[in-house]
Amino acid sequence: MTRLKDWFQPGDWNAACSMCGRKRKASELVRNWQGMYRCKEHNEERHPQDFVRGVKENIGVPWAQPQTDSYVYFCTLETANGTPGRAGPGCARPGVDYTGEL
């Protein structure tokens, strides 16, 4: 037999469970992690994975220095040649053959 919750109790009032809707006294309800008031049997614990926080990764290198070697291109007799396959960038001159081949 269910007991009606319509009696007077000083400092207490009637309230409904947010899950089942049953009328209860407010002192019998508990507040869950979502802020809703529920019966003790309908109360659910917050999942432990909600409290897990990721570890910040340091993806930078511990130290670095600027590159010190640089490539300097210079023209030679062979790269100044205008023949395709032998010419160097910025050095080739059309019609010039320094290899001595005809």
Instruction: Look at residue 1 in the predicted model and tell me its pLDDT.
Output: 45
Tell me, yes or no, whether 9 lies in a domain. no
Regarding pTM above 0.75, the answer is no
| Closest to 13 measured CA to CA, from 32, 2, 29 | 29
Instruction: Look at residue 96 in the predicted model and tell me its pLDDT.
Output: 66
Q: How far apart are CA 59 and CA 80, in angstroms?
A: 47
Tell me, yes or no, whether 51 lies in a domain. no
First to last CA, the chain: 117
For the chain, 102 residues long, give each residue's pLDDT as a single digit of tens: 456 667 888 888 989 999 888 888 999 999 999 899 999 998 888 999 999 999 988 888 888 888 877 777 677 777 777 667 666 777 777 776 666 554
Tell me, yes or no, whether 70 lies in a domain. no
Tell me, yes or no, whether 26 lies in a domain. yes
Instruction: Look at residue 102 in the predicted model and tell me its pLDDT.
Output: 47
What is the tally of structural domains in the chain? 1
* Residue 25 dihedral angles phi and psi, to the nearest 5°: -80, 145
Q: How far apart are CA 3 and CA 41, in angstroms?
A: 17
The three-state secondary structure class of 25 is strand
* 34: containing domain: 14-44
Tell me, yes or no, whether 25 lies in a domain. yes
